[in-house]
């Protein structure tokens, strides 16, 4: 049996400029993900939406989400 988990995290009320900067800052992290784990980032209106999906290990998903949130926090502090 295969288990797939999807998680969506949104940063609301973010300017398009900040959203694009954060998205670009995370691009290096969106490479060489563990097998079965993926991240898709998109700008929707005044939101930056992160879509995570894991088809294998939930621990990898949780660790990746935690790491990405830390990087988002750093990026937002730097651009303010």
- pLDDT tens digits, 42-61: 999 899 999 999 987 788 88
Distance CA 42, CA 19 (A): 9
Cβ atoms 75, 21 nearer than 8 A: yes
Q: Where do the domains of the chain lie?
A: 5-79
More confident residue, 29 or 8: 8
The H or E element spanning position 20 is helix 16-26
CATH number of this structure's domain 5-79, picked from the four choices 3.40.50.720, 3.10.180.10, 3.30.310.50, 3.30.360.10: 3.30.310.50
Quote the pTM value.
0.84
């Amino acid at each position: 049996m295969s288990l797939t988990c999807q998680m969506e995290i949104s940063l609301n009320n973010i300017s398009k400029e900040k959203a694009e900067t954060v998205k670009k800052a995370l691009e290096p992290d969106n490479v060489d993900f563990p097998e079965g784990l993926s991240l898709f980032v998109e700008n929707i209106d005044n939101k930056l939406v992160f879509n995570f999906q894991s088809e294998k290990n939930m621990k990898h998903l949780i660790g990746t989400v935690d790491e990405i949130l830390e990087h988002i926090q750093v990026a937002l502090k730097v651009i303010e």
